[in-house]
Amino acid sequence: MGNLIANMSMSLDGFVEDRAGGVDDVFAWMAAISESSASAEYQRTARAGVGALIAGRRLFDLAQGWGGRHPLDVPVFVVTHRPPDDWAHPDAPFTFVTDGVASAVEQARALAGDRDVAVASPDITRQCLDLGLLDAIAVDLVAVLLGGGKPFFAGLASAPIKLTDPVVVEGAGVTHLLYRLDRSGQGSR
């Protein structure tokens, strides 16, 4: 079985969106990925290992369902209270999960097999952490201070959560950090 890995681009002060809900500043590093062979290789390796993605309904709506095909080109499990009534891509590999995050994780892991399952939502990440389901956290730490917005790790009920030392990859305008959850029993779930 692969790992359940949360991944987000985040400002140095911990936000994944600015105060207006914009993400341009935290994803600007991707425009320069061709200038950073380290970032390009890091992304290529990470993406190749993903077999499924879990997202929240808000992200799904903001991305307009990625036009029926997520950029990772893997099956997507959307955690929602209510599936969309007007989903224009019924044959696309999207599953709308209405019975919670744990169910989405179980379904995504079953489909992904030995490949990783990526979590692309701060709220879903928090729920996975609180349920003790997450294996790792990948942060693309961007060289920008937003001063406010949507934090990546807000409202954790299970804190503190201990992490291992990070794997660090320096890119252009971004530092890629990969932390595994410390399962040694020292305060982690």
Q: CATH number for the domain including 65? A: 3.40.430.10
Is the model's pLDDT at 106 over the cut of 70?
Answer: yes
Pair 56, 78: CB distance under 8 Å? yes
Q: Taking residues 41-66, what's their average pLDDT?
A: 93
| 179 assigned to some structural domain | no
Is the model's pLDDT at 64 over the cut of 70?
Answer: yes
Is the model's pLDDT at 179 over the cut of 80?
Answer: yes
Is the model's pLDDT at 168 over the cut of 90?
Answer: yes
Predicted TM-score (pTM) of this structure: 0.92
Is residue 171 classed as helix, strand or coil in its secondary structure? Answer: coil
| 31 assigned to some structural domain | yes
Give 113's DSSP letter: T
Is the model's pLDDT at 28 over the cut of 70?
Answer: yes
- What's the pLDDT score for residue 185? 60
Distance separating alpha carbons of residues 174 and 170, to the nearest angstrom: 7
pLDDT band at residue 36 under the 50/70/90 scheme? confident
Q: Which of 95, 102, 164, 88 is closest to 130 using CA atoms?
A: 102
| 59 assigned to some structural domain | yes
Domain boundaries, position 104: 4-172
Pair 52, 117: CB distance under 8 Å? yes
| 178 assigned to some structural domain | no
pLDDT more than 90, % of the chain: 83
Q: Taking residues 91-108, what's their average pLDDT?
A: 96
Distance separating alpha carbons of residues 150 and 14, to the nearest angstrom: 8
Q: Taking residues 27-56, what's their average pLDDT?
A: 90
Give 152's DSSP letter: T
| 145 assigned to some structural domain | yes
The total number of structural domains that make up the chain: 1
Is the model's pLDDT at 187 over the cut of 60?
Answer: no
Distance separating alpha carbons of residues 34 and 20, to the nearest angstrom: 28
- What's the pLDDT score for residue 33? 81
Residue 110 burial (C-beta neighbours within 10 Å; 0-12, 13-18, 19+): exposed
